[in-house]
């Protein structure tokens, strides 16, 4: 008799866990679907803005190199995900920059944001960013 009661107890817990999983899935589904749609749109925009070579570099190396419009020896290395933008001058990392949007954005949109800000107004970009010098 105790074996039957143990099996029934296990079945009860399985049914409860299955029901709870379904409820959690139903509650979070609209948010997850909306986020993936935002990620898809951000990825499409990124592909439209970058050249095929730049897009390959971002995928393979995990960063996008954006040349400085004002200093030919300077390159900004923008990460694919969250992280600091590295400033490379004459082949050496000279500083790291932290500049984040006020609202949460998909990672692809953040890459676009950095690229367009650097190319559009590098001076303002550098003024807004928190700077951390790299020392050897």
Structure-block tokens of residue 76: 């900004």
Single out the residue of 48, 123, 114 nearest to residue 81, CA to CA: 114
Structure-block tokens of residue 92: 């050496």
The more confident residue out of 130 and 6 is: 130
> CB under 8 Å to 89, separation ≥6 — which residues?
71, 73, 74, 75
| Range of weakest confidence among 35-44, 49-58, 61-70, 77-86 | 35-44
Residue 27 has pLDDT above 90, yes or no: no
What pLDDT score was predicted for residue 26? Answer: 58
Q: Which pTM was predicted?
A: 0.72
Q: State CA 105 to chain mean position distance.
A: 8
**Phi, psi dihedrals of residue 126, rounded to the nearest 5°:** -70, -30
β-sheet bridge partners, residue 63: 79
- Other Cβ atoms within 10 Å of 61 Cβ, number: 12
What is the pLDDT of the chain when averaged over all its residues?
88
What pLDDT score was predicted for residue 108? Answer: 92
Q: Where are the domains of the chain?
A: 1-136
């Amino acid at each position: 008799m105790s074996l039957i009661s143990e099996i029934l107890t296990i079945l009860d817990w399985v049914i409860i866990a299955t029901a709870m999983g379904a409820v959690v899935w139903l509650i979070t589904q609209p948010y997850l679907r909306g986020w993936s749609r935002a990620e898809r749109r951000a990825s499409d925009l990124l592909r439209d803005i970058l050249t095929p070579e730049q897009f390959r570099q971002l995928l393979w190396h995990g960063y996008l190199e954006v040349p400085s419009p004002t200093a030919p020896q300077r390159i900004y290395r923008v990460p694919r995900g969250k992280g600091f933008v590295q400033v490379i001058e004459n082949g050496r990392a000279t500083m790291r920059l932290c500049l984040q949007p006020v609202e949460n954005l998909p990672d692809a949109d953040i890459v676009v944001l950095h690229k367009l800000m650097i190319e559009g107004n590098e001076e303002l970009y550098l003024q807004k960013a928190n700077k951390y010098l790299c020392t050897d």
